[in-house]
Chain A
Amino acid sequence: MTRYIVRRLLYGILILIGVNLLTFLLFFAVNTPDDMARLSIGGQRVSQSAIERWKSERGYDKPLFFDAQASGAQKWTNTIFFTRSVPLLHFDFGFSDEGRDIGNEISQRMGPSLALAIPTFLLGLFVCISFALLLVFFKGTPLDFAGVVICVVLLSISGLFYIIAGQWLFAKILRWVPYSGFVDGWGSLRFLVLPVLVGILSGLGAQARFYRTLFLEEWGKDYVRTARAKGLSERVVLFRHVLRNAMLPILTGTVSAIPLLFMGSLISESFFGIPGLGSYTIDAINAQDFSIVRAMVFLGSALYIVGLILADISYTLADPRVRFE
């Protein structure tokens, strides 16, 4: 298994280099360093000398990929792409275009992101699995039909609607929770109730439908019939046999998603005023801060690769028959 993991990690490095190259190309195709300077300096009278100074201070005065005037290896190393990409490989994110330490910002903002993401993830998983089990338990009854209809309705609605409707209902009309905000420590609980609820509800329809399908697939298998024939109650059959055997595909989805929890939620964090990595990314995109966007895309890709490797490993733990050899 070690050989497999090492191989996957090496593939991961190649993928990260590719992602970095693609991000670089896409960003600079629409946004030249001059454009970035103009936007950053702002004001009404941006002079060319101010633009040149801004670029020089941030290392954007170099050629993008190839420096024809340099000699030897410097033709490739004295470029924006090289100087900005190599440090990323050892997770040195450098400084934003505003001059702030990106690594420090990420570490500061990871906490608020996790404060929202972890409860949403864990409670969401619990609620979705429970709801799907209930639907399976009542399979063929009007309750199952009503549940499926509810799932389809829920998954047909945009996530943004849940946020706006949630704020309207719970913050404006009922006034149970605040619209948005965040404070450090346990005091933020009252601010997190609504985004967590919205997060769970917006994912419930799709996930519950998916889990229901998984459970139903197990439901028709021989071992379930055998368990019933032994006289076990439906509850025991469902929780002890069906749930355990359906865990493998559930594990795949959930374990691979765990590392991405660190990245936060782009929309929720902005709407609920949570100063996490999602809102950090949105702010960077709005400000056309390439350094932050590139760092966040790189971090997201790295975490995704880690998530997939973890999911692979989790197979062997959940099902001893799975081997990597």
Chain B
Amino acid sequence: MLVESIVNRRHVLQRNPNFRGQPYPCEGEPGDREMGLLDDCGKLTPFIDRIVFSLEKESVPLMGKFLQGYYDVPQVDRGDYGVAMRVAAGDSADKAALYQERGLQLRSSTEASVYYMGFNWRDPVVGRGDTPEQQEKNRKLRQAVSIAFNWEQFVSIFQNDEGQVAYGPVPPGVLGYQEPPAGLNRQVYTLENGRAVRRPLDEAKRLLSEAGYPDGRSAETGKPLILHFDSAGGMGSSAMLDWMRRQLAAIGIQLEVRATDYNRFQDKMRNGSAQMYMWGWVADYPDAENFLFLLYGPNAKADNGGENASNYKNPEYDRLFEQMRFLDDGPEKEALVHKMVAIVQADAPWMFGYFPKSGGAYQSWVGNAKPTQMVRNTLQYYRIDPALREQKIKAWNAPLWWPLWLLAAALAAGGLLAWRVARRRDRASAVTGSDLSRQS
């Protein structure tokens, strides 16, 4: 129960003496048992009597205090610091050695969330298209763009490899997700030696040509094809936007960035006036419905204010969604999800982007810890070894006093020097020797 709450400073939770207790889970994801995460199976939680949340506004003191052992976990609500520490350990041998010496547990897991790049279905160039011919041309354009955008590189550069490239809208851990080869987006990838390989740029160029833009120019007018990316932040000059421009430039398409703040971006999405945009979705619950509804026609944002930001509409998809949405998990639902994913892979209203990973950083004395953004009540499962914590904090934080004596000695030497200069000046005569010789 909450016993103290100071906004933007500190919150304290304490064990409720009247709580009946909840048994610790006995089942988990693959690998949980091997990691000892199911050892407390059946025991009543919570294991901790008191939890103090301190709000640190800046990352430098937060990380500093975590590494000194004053925090058991650097972040409870998100996994950014865990990810950052994993990346730092990968980049720097010194940091990896430090984390190892401190016994830090750095764990990661793919989240039930997706970051995607969407095409506005209402747009005449990248959207659905008015006539069947135009629809096919637009689809080929979207497919060409999807091939050109190298999401593996994006995840590597901008997410420090802390993400999993998506082949569809349903993330791992959710019923309906399929690992490659079954779940591979064959519009964009081919399978070579069991590995997903992005289709070559030549194929993207061929698709672009079939879409009516040979070499990135309109076959009718000869004008260059310019696509617009409606960015939700920055001033259009970030490294990420430059990278995006280069991806499309590789197949001869010019990308123009229309950067606004997030509020204006939301306006554009509500009005349906964006062309290409990047957005994300964090699941409310781990069900495919909570991702597939982002492409359900009646949820179109511009028409009905829903969460279908691409305003995608496909009657077959909508029909399947209505069949699937109220089904319990099972083979029937799974089969419907697979069909729906195949439809959106073919239609390509999104480039499916990536599923971010969540990282967790925990001190060695923290037990039963596993990063997740979906399950929010994990605090009750944590175990703490307070004796080990006290011992480690003491060992890691012994002050280093010798520089203080050095500083004092330097100050004393400076004082002595100043005193000597002052004394010499006080004793100096007003008239110098050269002045005397000049007078004589």
Contact = CB atoms under 8 A, between A and B. Distances in A.
Interface of A: 30-32, 35, 38-39, 44-45, 47-48, 98, 100, 134, 137-138, 141, 143, 164, 167, 171-176, 178-181, 233-234, 270-273, 275, 279-280, 282-283
B223 interface: no
A144 to B, nearest CB: 10
Interface size, B (range): 20 to 34
B8 A171 contact: no
A111 B180 CA distance: 60
A100 B5 CA distance: 14
A31 B264 CA distance: 10
Given A143-B421, A180-B58, A181-B54, 16 more contacts: A100-B7, A137-B422, A164-B60, A167-B61, A173-B400, A174-B399, A174-B403, A175-B397, A175-B398, A179-B68, A180-B65, A234-B425, A270-B57, A271-B58, A271-B61, A283-B57
Contacts of A143: 417-418, 421
B284 to A, nearest CB: 8
A90 B64 CA distance: 44
Interface string B174-205: 00000000000000000000000000000000
Contact of B263 (A38, A172, A175, A176): A38
Given A38-B266, A180-B65, A282 B282 contact: no
A283 B6 CA distance: 14
A35 B263 contact: yes
Nearest to B306: A45
A48 B70 CA distance: 44
B281 to A, nearest CB: 7
A167 B62 CA distance: 11
Nearest to A288: B263
Contact of A179 (B61, B261, B284, B398): B61
B57 A279 contact: yes
B343 to A, nearest CB: 24
14 contacts: A31-B263, A48-B305, A134-B418, A138-B422, A143-B417, A143-B421, A171-B64, A176-B399, A176-B400, A234-B425, A273-B57, A275-B8, A279-B8, A283-B8
A178 B399 CA distance: 11
A178 B70 CA distance: 10
Interface string B332-346: 000000000000000
A59 B161 CA distance: 46
B307 interface: yes
Contacts of B261: 30
B56 interface: yes
Contacts, number: 82
B307 A138 contact: no
A175 to B, nearest CB: 5
Contacts of A234: 422, 425-426
Interface string B405-440: 000000000000110011001100000000000000
Given A138-B418, A173-B400, A234-B425, A271 B282 contact: no
Q: Which 10 A-B pairs have the closest CB atoms?
A: A179-B61, A180-B61, A35-B263, A270-B57, A179-B64, A175-B399, A174-B400, A275-B9, A271-B58, A179-B65
Contact of A141 (B54, B400, B421): B421
Nearest to A141: B421
Interface in B77-109: none
Contacts of B68: 172, 175, 179
Among B60, B403, B426, the most chain A Cβ lie within 10 Å of the Cβ of B60
Contacts of B60: 164, 167, 179, 271
Nearest to B66: A179
Contacts of A173: 400
A279 B57 CA distance: 9
A146 to B, nearest CB: 10
A174 B399 CA distance: 6
B305 A47 contact: yes
A270 B8 contact: no
A270 to B, nearest CB: 4
A137 B7 CA distance: 51
Nearest to B67: A172
B422 A172 contact: no
Nearest to B282: A44
Contacts of A98: 7
A191 to B, nearest CB: 11
Contacts of B425: 141, 234
Contacts of A275: 6, 8-9
A292 to B, nearest CB: 11
A271 B61 CA distance: 7
Nearest to B266: A38
A283 B422 CA distance: 51
A20 to B, nearest CB: 23
A234 B6 CA distance: 55
B415 to A, nearest CB: 10
A175 B7 CA distance: 29
Nearest to A270: B57
Among B54, B61, B263, B403, the most chain A Cβ lie within 10 Å of the Cβ of B61
Contacts of A171: 61, 64
A134 B266 CA distance: 60
B374 to A, nearest CB: 14
Contacts of B58: 180, 270-271
Nearest to A140: B425
A280 B305 CA distance: 35
Nearest to A38: B266
B121 to A, nearest CB: 20
B413 to A, nearest CB: 12
Given A138-B418, A138-B422, A174-B400, A272 B61 contact: yes
A272 B57 CA distance: 9
Contacts of A179: 60-61, 64-65, 68
A45 B282 CA distance: 12
A167 B305 CA distance: 48
Contacts of B421: 138, 141, 143
Contact of B57 (A47, A100, A271): A271
Contact of A172 (B7, B57, B64): B64
A141 B57 CA distance: 46
B144 to A, nearest CB: 31
Nearest to B270: A48
Contacts of A172: 64, 68
Contacts of A272: 61
Among B58, B281, B399, the most chain A Cβ lie within 10 Å of the Cβ of B58
B307 A44 contact: yes
